[in-house]
């Protein structure tokens, strides 16, 4: 069977999703899980966009051993130099250079003539070839570009050293038949196309990202790009887990294979969902909670008699477990550490001790500790050894049906001082946030607030995700606790702290195309 490489852009294109704001240690955690998942190429970020993104890509490049680590670059020497400095210590370094090729982009965004675009592309690839042996070149908005122009520019960048040619459906405009024909045309009309891999990168604006990608595979593409859970700008990217499972289930149609470890599918999906705060729809294919649920009596009867009646995917194939109790209050640190390894959680000694302490505290409050609980604790930023600008010291809320909600909060400031304030609100959550606003003394706007539980049951942990805006800059935060109000306070403070880190690294809104 023909081998198809998997290119993951969760940490670059996926992080451009509205409201997503990952810490460097969270990006590294995702990258390491992507490596376990078996992706061939990890696009770790856009190093030239900010010092924070540069450092994050550099950290990932130094830790990942089995996957190629690439950084995104515009067609400028400055961007290419930034990528090289960030990934040069990787076992397998690479670069991803892009330039728009559609008439509308060339005229209005680039304000360049076609000849200028060709020269810019050629010069950038030639310059990158001094450093890299893995050079991916993307024709941004390829599906709205003139095919004859694409053949000309592709041929020239291949001659300069490009090793992968990506034809992205940047705005989710194309259809499966049309996209397949584009790749067929390129293969038939580009003289040196046999020297490179062809790659497909699709967006889901019309709901056809996965279908378009599968069509590209049928038309000779040997690399597919996407994100975990299909996250990304606007309607998102092609969902990698859906593509991987489709290829596994239908080899009679696609006749290709990948090196994806499907048993890591659910774990990878959950990790990305928890860290980004982007909830997986219940009816999402492959990883949604309803993907293997059967409520109809007819369906239940059929599945009990033979799973193949209504299940084409075995839950075990994607790593779905029974999620039963894994450890108890009498479990020791050694057993806990071994269980973490089994779950794919790898922490240094200091963070491992913090996680074990949090686990022991949880066993005193919760009868059954599940895998989801362990992951929730692990992904709590307090478990990651991250220095926090502000820390919640205590929280007291007075609430009743005929009482004005009043909150008193103590927060430790960056200088180590504990500041106490009180405030009221129309509801208990508002009173909590009004109190924090007083302490921070900044105009903070709450844009989004979401809450979910880690598992079922009265003793489940509450996970709160918020998005806030301070001085026109947005930030997201996450809080995990038994008490909803405490989790809400932690999430709000976490969002503020993330913004402080963002400002420290001089990060701005990237403004990068999603390709």
Q: What percent of the chain has pLDDT over 70?
A: 91
How long a stretch of residues is the chain?
Answer: 515
> Is residue 164 one of the residues assigned to a domain?
yes
The verdict on 349 and 223 lying in the same domain is: no
Q: Whole-number mean pLDDT of the chain?
A: 90
The verdict on 225 and 297 lying in the same domain is: no
Asked whether residue 504 carries a pLDDT value surpassing 90, the answer given is no
C-beta separation of 95 from 132 below 8 A: yes
> Is residue 421 one of the residues assigned to a domain?
no
The verdict on 308 and 230 lying in the same domain is: no
**Residue 96 — pLDDT band, cuts 50, 70, 90?**
very high
pLDDT attached to residue 101: 98
Asked whether residue 490 carries a pLDDT value surpassing 50, the answer given is yes
pLDDT tens-digit series, residues 125-142:
999 999 999 999 999 999
> Is residue 478 one of the residues assigned to a domain?
no
**Residue 503 — pLDDT band, cuts 50, 70, 90?**
low
> Is residue 145 one of the residues assigned to a domain?
yes
The verdict on 198 and 296 lying in the same domain is: no
Q: Count Cβ atoms within 10 A of the Cβ of residue 198 and give its class: 0-12 exposed, 13-18 middle, 19 or more buried.
A: buried
HSE (CB half, 13 Å, CA atoms) of 58? Answer: 13
From 383, 400, 415, give the residue that closes a domain: 383
Say what angle helices 349-363 and 333-342 make with each other, to 10 degrees: 110
> Is residue 440 one of the residues assigned to a domain?
no
The verdict on 43 and 93 lying in the same domain is: yes
The verdict on 338 and 315 lying in the same domain is: no
pLDDT attached to residue 387: 54
The verdict on 10 and 142 lying in the same domain is: yes
Whole-prediction pTM value?
0.88
Q: Which of 51, 153, 151, 149 is nearest to 104 (CA)?
A: 149
For residue 112, the domain's CATH number is: 3.20.20.70
Q: What are the structure tokens assigned to 287, written together? A: 């990883």
The verdict on 59 and 133 lying in the same domain is: yes
From 383, 403, 421, give the residue that closes a domain: 383
Specify the DSSP class assigned to residue 442.
Answer: S
C-beta separation of 97 from 136 below 8 A: yes
C-beta separation of 225 from 201 below 8 A: yes
C-beta separation of 264 from 38 below 8 A: yes
> Is residue 193 one of the residues assigned to a domain?
yes
**Residue 381 — pLDDT band, cuts 50, 70, 90?**
low
Q: Count Cβ atoms within 10 A of the Cβ of residue 295 and give its class: 0-12 exposed, 13-18 middle, 19 or more buried.
A: exposed
Using CA atoms, how far apart are residues 30 and 268, in angstroms rounded to an integer? 8
Asked whether residue 385 carries a pLDDT value surpassing 50, the answer given is no
pLDDT attached to residue 304: 58
The verdict on 295 and 352 lying in the same domain is: no
The verdict on 52 and 90 lying in the same domain is: yes
Please state which of the ranges 123-137, 281-295, 320-334, 362-376 shows the lowest mean pLDDT.
320-334
Please state which of the ranges 107-116, 119-128, 291-300 shows the lowest mean pLDDT.
291-300
The verdict on 205 and 148 lying in the same domain is: yes
Q: Which residues contact 234 (CB under 8 A, 6 or more apart)?
A: 172, 203, 205, 514
The verdict on 15 and 51 lying in the same domain is: yes
> Is residue 463 one of the residues assigned to a domain?
no
Residue range of the domain that includes 356: 333-383
> Is residue 451 one of the residues assigned to a domain?
no
The domain total for the chain is 3
The dihedral over CA atoms of 493, 498, 500, 505, expressed in degrees to the nearest 10, equals 170
């Amino acid at each position: 069977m023909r081998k198809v490489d998997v290119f993951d852009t969760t940490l670059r294109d996926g992080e451009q999703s509205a409201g997503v704001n990952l810490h460097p240690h969270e990006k590294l955690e995702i990258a390491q899980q992507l490596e376990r998942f078996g992706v061939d190429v990890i696009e770790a970020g856009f190093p030239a966009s900010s010092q924070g993104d540069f450092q994050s890509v550099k950290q990932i490049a130094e830790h990942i051993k089995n996957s190629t680590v690439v950084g995104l670059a515009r067609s400028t020497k400055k961007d290419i130099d930034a990528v090289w400095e960030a990934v040069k210590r990787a076992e397998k370094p690479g670069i991803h250079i892009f330039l728009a090729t559609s008439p509308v982009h060339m005229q209005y965004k680039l304000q360049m003539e076609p000849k200028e675009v060709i020269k810019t592309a050629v010069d950038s690839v030639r310059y990158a070839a001094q450093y890299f042996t893995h050079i991916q070149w993307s024709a941004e908005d390829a599906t709205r570009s003139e095919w004859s122009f694409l053949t000309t520019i592709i041929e020239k960048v291949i001659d300069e050293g490009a090793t992968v040619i990506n034809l992205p459906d940047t705005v989710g405009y194309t259809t499966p038949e049309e996209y397949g024909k584009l790749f067929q045309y390129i293969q038939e009309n580009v003289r040196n196309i046999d020297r490179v891999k062809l790659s497909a990168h699709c967006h889901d604006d019309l709901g056809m990202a996965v279908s378009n990608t599968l069509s590209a595979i049928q038309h000779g593409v040997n690399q597919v790009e996407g994100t975990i859970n299909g996250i990304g700008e606007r309607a998102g990217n092609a969902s990698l887990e859906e593509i991987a499972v489709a290829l596994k289930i239908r080899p009679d149609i696609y006749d290709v294979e990948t090196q994806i470890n499907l048993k890591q599918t659910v774990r990878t999906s959950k990790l990305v969902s928890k860290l980004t705060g982007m909830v997986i729809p219940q009816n999402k294919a492959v990883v949604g909670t309803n993907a293997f649920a059967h409520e109809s009596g007819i369906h239940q009867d059929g599945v009990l008699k033979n799973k193949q009646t209504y299940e084409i995917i075995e839950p075990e194939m994607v790593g779905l477990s029974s999620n039963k109790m894994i450890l108890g209050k009498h479990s020791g640190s050694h057993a806990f550490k071994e269980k973490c390894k089994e779950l794919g959680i790898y922490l240094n000694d200091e963070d491992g001790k913090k996680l074990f302490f949090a686990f022991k505290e949880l066993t005193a409050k919760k009868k059954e500790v599940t895998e989801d609980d362990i992951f929730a604790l692990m992904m709590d930023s307090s478990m990651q050894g991250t220095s926090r600008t502000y820390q919640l010291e205590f929280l007291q809320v007075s609430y009743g049906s005929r009482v004005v909600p009043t909150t008193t909060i103590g927060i430790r400031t960056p200088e180590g001082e504990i500041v106490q304030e009180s405030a009221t609100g129309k509801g208990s959550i508002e009173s909590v946030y009004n109190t924090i606003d007083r302490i921070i003394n900044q105009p903070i706007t709450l844009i989004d607030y979401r809450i979910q539980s880690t598992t079922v049951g009265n003793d489940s942990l509450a996970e709160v995700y918020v998005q806030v805006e301070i001085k026109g800059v947005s930030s997201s935060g996450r809080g995990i606790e038994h008490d909803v109000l405490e989790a809400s306070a932690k999430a709000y403070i976490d969002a503020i702290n993330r913004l402080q880190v963002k400002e420290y690294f001089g990060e701005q809104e990237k403004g990068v195309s999603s390709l």
